[in-house]
């Protein structure tokens, strides 16, 4: 088994992508990952080829992948949750995501064709939520989802 962590910081990160942002009520679903490379926490999940599957691309947005503290380590050392594993997907609630471009609190949230979260509407798809906090490009912001 490869080394999972070889160094330890003096303090924990305040937040990370895919971390639930508050203890407010949430709606989540579980799906089996069918994407070969797995799915990263905080990434968008889409309906897969079968009813109970999800993928990193697709037409039907399911929600945001939550972090799995018990995920198997990957050979590449990434945080991706692996193909064939069950993943938790948030549909309603607050979750930390990495943003593309600066975002401001209460701005509508969109996703790019590449799966990034942004406040830019042009050529992007609404995700059914708003940013609850502001962040600069590449930073972390709280996304408040309210999918049907």
Q: Does 93 reside within a domain?
A: yes
Q: Residues 82-103: pLDDT tens digits?
A: 999 999 999 999 999 999 999 9
Comparison of pLDDT for 76 and 6, the residue scoring more: 6
Q: Residues 51-66: pLDDT tens digits?
A: 999 999 998 999 999 9
Q: Does 21 reside within a domain?
A: no
- Domains in the chain: how many in total? 1
Q: Output the pTM of the full model.
A: 0.89
Calculate what percentage of the chain has a pLDDT beyond 70.
96
Q: Which range marks the domain in which residue 125 is found?
A: 27-146
Q: Are 99 and 120 in contact (CB under 8 A)?
A: no
Residue 136 in tokens: 């600069």
Q: Does 16 reside within a domain?
A: no
Mean pLDDT of the chain: 92
DSSP 5: -
Q: Does 19 reside within a domain?
A: no
Q: Does 58 reside within a domain?
A: yes
- SS3 for 6-46, per residue? CCCCCCCCCCCCCCECCCCCCEEEEEEECCCCCECCCCEEE
Q: Are 131 and 144 in contact (CB under 8 A)?
A: yes
Q: Does 22 reside within a domain?
A: no
Q: Does 5 reside within a domain?
A: no
Q: Does 12 reside within a domain?
A: no
- Distance (Å, whole) CA 74 – CA 125: 31
């Amino acid at each position: 088994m490869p080394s999972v962590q070889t160094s330890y910081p003096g303090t924990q990160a305040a937040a990370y992508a895919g971390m639930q942002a508050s203890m407010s009520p949430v709606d989540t679903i579980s799906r089996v990952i069918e994407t070969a490379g797995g799915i990263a926490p905080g990434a968008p999940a889409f309906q897969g080829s079968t009813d109970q599957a999800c993928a990193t691309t697709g037409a039907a947005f399911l929600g945001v992948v939550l972090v799995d503290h018990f995920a198997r380590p990957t050979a590449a050392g990434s945080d991706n949750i692996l193909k064939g594993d069950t993943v938790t997907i948030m549909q309603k609630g607050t979750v930390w995501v990495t943003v593309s471009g600066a975002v401001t609190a209460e701005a509508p949230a969109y996703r790019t064709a590449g799966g990034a979260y942004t406040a830019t509407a042009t050529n992007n798809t609404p995700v059914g939520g708003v940013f609850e906090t502001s962040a600069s490009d590449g930073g972390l912001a709280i996304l408040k989802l309210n999918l049907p």
